[in-house]
Chain A
Amino acid sequence: MSSVTADHIAPAGTGHADHGHHHVPTGWRRWLFATNHKDIGTMYLIFSFVMLLEGGALALLLRLELFSPGLQFFQPELFNQFTTMHGLIMIFGAIMPAFVGFANWMIPLQIGASDMAFARMNNFSFWLLPVGGILLTASFFVPGGANAAGWTMYAPLSLQMGPGMDFAIFAVHILGASSIMGAINIVVTILNMRAPGMTLMKMPMFCWTWLITAYLLIAVMPVLAAAVTMLLTDRHFGTHFFNAAGGGDPVLYQHVFWFFGHPEVYIMILPAFGIVSQIVPAFARKKLFGYASMVYATAAIAILSFLVWAHHMFTTGMPTTGQLYFMYATMLISIPTGVKVFNWVATMWRGSMTFETPMLFAIGFIFVFTIGGFTGLIVAVAPVDIQLHDTYYVIAHFHYVLVAGSLFALFAGAYYWLPKWTGRMYNEKLGKLHFWSTMLSFNLTFFPMHWLGLAGMPRRYADYAAQFTDFHQVATIGAIWFGFSQLIFLYVAINAWRGKGEPAPANPWEGAEGLEWTVPSPAPFHTFETPPTVK
Chain B
Amino acid sequence: QVQDMPGGPRVRQLNMPEGVTQIAQDIAWLHWMVMIVCAVIFVGVFGVMFYSILMHRKSRGAVPAKFHEHVGVEVAWTVIPFIIVIAMALPATRTVVEMKDTSNAGLTVKATGYQWRWGYEYVDGPAQGVKFMSSLSTPRAQIDGTEPRSPTYLMEVDNPLVVPVNTKVRVVLTANDVIHSWMVPDFGVKQDAIPHFLRDAWFRAEKVGTYRGQCAELCGKDHAFMPIVVDVLSQEDYAEWSKEQQRLLAEAADDPGKEWSKDELIARGEKVYATYCVACHQANGKGLPGTFPALDGDEKYVLAPMKDQILTVLNGHPGTAMAAWRDILNDVEIGAVITYTRHAWSNQGKGADPIVQPSDVQALR
Q: What is the interface of chain A, defined by CB distance below 8 A to chain B?
A: 69-72, 75-77, 80, 142-145, 148-150, 154, 156-157, 159-160, 162-163, 235, 243-245, 249-251, 284-293, 315-317, 319-320, 323-324, 327-328, 331-332, 334-335, 338-339, 341-342, 345-355, 363, 366-367, 370-371, 374, 377-378, 381-384, 386-387, 389-391, 451, 454-471, 511
Contact = CB atoms under 8 A, between A and B. Distances in A.
B290 A145 contact: yes
5 contacts: A290-B69, A290-B70, A381-B89, A458-B216, A467-B13
B216 A465 contact: no
Contact of B191 (A143, A315, A363): A315
Given A458-B183, A467-B9, A160 B149 contact: no
A466 B181 contact: no
A454 B52 contact: no
B123 interface: no
A383 B92 contact: yes
Nearest to A345: B49
B142 interface: yes
A428 to B, nearest CB: 15
A470 B219 CA distance: 26
Interface string B116-152: 0000000000000000000000000011110001011
A160 B216 contact: no
Contacts of B341: none
B15 A454 contact: yes
Interface in B173-195: 177-179, 181, 183, 185, 188-192, 194-195
Contact of A334 (B13, B23, B81, B99): B81
Contact of B30 (A148, A317, A383): A383
Contact of B216 (A249, A391, A454, A466): A391
B142 A70 contact: yes
B364 interface: no
A382 B96 contact: yes
Contacts of B14: 451, 454-455
B85 interface: yes
A251 B194 contact: yes
Contacts of B300: none
A462 B219 CA distance: 12
A463 B225 contact: yes
B220 A160 contact: yes
A80 B218 contact: yes
B277 interface: no
Contacts of B69: 289-293
Given A154-B178, A355-B57, 20 more contacts: A76-B224, A157-B178, A285-B64, A286-B64, A287-B66, A291-B69, A338-B78, A342-B73, A345-B49, A345-B52, A350-B67, A353-B53, A353-B57, A370-B42, A381-B34, A456-B214, A463-B224, A466-B151, A467-B5, A470-B11
Interface stretch (B158-166, B196-204, B243-251, B267-275): B196-204
A156 B178 contact: yes
Most buried by A among B8, B189, B220, B224: B224
B105 interface: no
Given A348-B49, A378-B34, A455 B10 contact: yes
Interface string B13-49: 1111100000110110011001100100110011011
Contacts of A384: 27, 30-31, 34, 92
A157 B9 contact: no
A133 B70 CA distance: 47
B222 interface: yes
A287 B68 contact: yes
Nearest to A78: B221
The residue among A76, A162, A235, A460 with the most chain B CB atoms within 10 A of its own CB is A76
B223 A154 contact: no
A456 B219 CA distance: 17
A143 B290 contact: yes
B206 to A, nearest CB: 17
Contacts of B188: 383, 386-387
A378 B320 contact: no
Contacts of A315: 181, 190-192, 216-217
B64 A350 contact: yes
B83 to A, nearest CB: 10
A465 B197 CA distance: 30
Contacts of B35: 378
B288 interface: yes
A339 B8 contact: no
Contact of A290 (B38, B58, B68, B96): B68
B96 A383 contact: yes
Contacts of B221: 75-77, 80, 148
A335 B62 CA distance: 31
B48 A349 contact: yes
